[in-house]
Amino acid sequence: MSQVALPHDAKAGPTKSEVRAVTLSKLDLQQSDHFVDVGSCTGAVTVEAARRVGRVTALERKAERLEVTEKNLAANEYDAAVTVRHAEAPEEFPEDADAAFLGGSRNFEAVLDRALESGVDRVVMNVARLEVAGEAVEAFRDRGVLSEVVQLQVSHGYELAGATSFDAQNPVYVVVGRRDAEGMA
């Protein structure tokens, strides 16, 4: 399938394609999964997941960003049944989810609790701010689901004086939780 198209922009997104690639591999999505994207914003992760699983629920607390999710979904091909909801999680978090991505950090401990109650066995949270990353790691560890913490730093090459130089993006912490976690590998 073609690359994800994101013709519509929103502040705070998108999760960059390289970061999405790692995030999705850690989520280990299966066709039978019901996947929940908390903080869908541009819908970049929603679209990627909708190409891998049978059902997706996208939650976004900001109405104008949820509209961007919807418009970008319309610009892409996917097979999943996708539900988009204007809600601040844990509100509206579905009761039969299998895997979840927390791209937004508001209420994240309550969201994590709800996700685990709902039956999620894979959950990934991406965090840019160091202190929040520390809190996220503790929250995952306290619930016995901390499996991995990956720090990603991506730089993109550009041409400079006939050679290649790099533009660095901010680091991202990818906190990976699994129900069967036995602590960090």
Ligand X SMILES: C[S@@+](CC[C@H](N)C(=O)[O-])C[C@H]1O[C@@H](n2cnc3c(N)ncnc32)[C@H](O)[C@@H]1O
Three-state DSSP state, 174? strand
15 is in an annotated binding site: yes
- Segment interacting with ligand X (CB under 6 A) among 59-67, 76-84, 131-139, 152-160: 59-67
Indicate the residue type of 134: G
- Segment interacting with ligand X (CB under 6 A) among 10-18, 115-123, 141-149, 154-162: 10-18
Report the nearest approach of ligand X to the CB of residue 91 (Å).
8
Asked if 129 interacts with ligand X (CB under 6 A), we say no
Residue of the chain from 27, 36, 53, 60 that contacts ligand X (CB under 6 A) = 60
The answer to whether 90 touches 107, Cβ cutoff 8 Å, is yes
83 is in an annotated binding site: no
Assigned token pair, 173: 């912490």
Asked if 111 interacts with ligand X (CB under 6 A), we say yes
> DSSP secondary structure string, 27-69?
HT--TT-EEEEES-TT-HHHHHHHTTSSEEEEEESSHHHHHHH
Asked if 156 interacts with ligand X (CB under 6 A), we say no
Residue of the chain from 27, 44, 136, 176 that contacts ligand X (CB under 6 A) = 44
Largest CA distance in the chain: 55
Residue of the chain from 27, 45, 80, 97 that contacts ligand X (CB under 6 A) = 45
- Segment interacting with ligand X (CB under 6 A) among 49-57, 103-111, 129-137, 147-155: 103-111
Please give the backbone phi and psi of residue 80, each rounded to the nearest 5 degrees, phi first: -70, 160
Segment holding 117, helix H or strand E:
helix 108-117
The answer to whether 70 touches 43, Cβ cutoff 8 Å, is yes
In angstroms, the CA 160 to CA 152 distance is 24
Q: Among residues 104, 102, 124, which one has the least CA distance to residue 26? A: 124
Choice between 64 and 182, CB closer to ligand X: 64
Q: Which residues bind ligand X (CB under 6 A)?
A: 12-15, 38-39, 41-42, 44-45, 59-62, 65, 88-89, 103-107, 111
Binding site for S-adenosyl-L-methionine, by residue number, is 15, 39-43, 60, 89
